[in-house]
Amino acid sequence: MMPLAACLAAALLTPLGQSPDDPADVPPLSDADRAAIAAVEALGGQVVPLSQTDARLDVSYHLGDVKLEAKHLDALVPLANRLRELNLRGTAFDDKLSRKLTLLPTLRRLHLERTKITDDALVAVGTLEKLEYLNLYGTAVTDAGLPNLRALPDLRSLYLWDTQVTTDGVLALREALPETEFVGVELPPEPKGAVVAPKPEPAEPTEPPQPPEEETE
């Protein structure tokens, strides 16, 4: 587990502009924020500020021997307004715990790969309106849960390897999310618009030939 001081030092070395999305207008870390970060770290979480000029936080519970429970997610609520990424990969995160996600509305990136969720968890995921990245690899998600994601206009990457999602299910979702990249499901190429031939330029009017002038003596 990386202590807060080390995380802050690492953040100082992070090149500016690393985040692909615009930094949120959040204030610098306060004493209360640092106390909340310490509480998350005490539960086995890793907390990393994005940079010295971006006080949003990335939190991971997927490293170490963390037996994920409700308390791990409750500890994030005091940091909800600055939480950018949450990594729960390979943890015991399930449908019941998914309800806690509704308390973290600023999330932009969410790792749920190899967790215990089913379609029911996507109801809560679908409330995260700022979500840009979602990884569902190795879960029991099916086509039935995908309509819950239709209300995520900023979603740009959705990972679906080793799920029960089908091509038909993704095609239906793509109608609502045309800008999203769906990874892990074979999709036909998107239809191209009909090519309209350009109209020919109107021909310039030409003067009719004039008869030769008669010579006068």
pLDDT for the residue 17: 36
Which H or E run contains 46?
strand 46-51
Banded pLDDT at 13 (limits 50, 70, 90): very low
Domains of the chain: 4-8+29-183 (3.80.10.10)
Q: How far apart are CA 166 and CA 61, in angstroms?
A: 30
pLDDT for the residue 189: 78
pLDDT for the residue 213: 61
Minimal CA–CA distance to 70: which of 97, 94, 107, 38? Answer: 97
Least confident of 15-19, 68-72, 82-86, 105-109: 15-19
pLDDT for the residue 25: 78
Model confidence, pTM = 0.78
Which H or E run contains 59?
strand 54-60
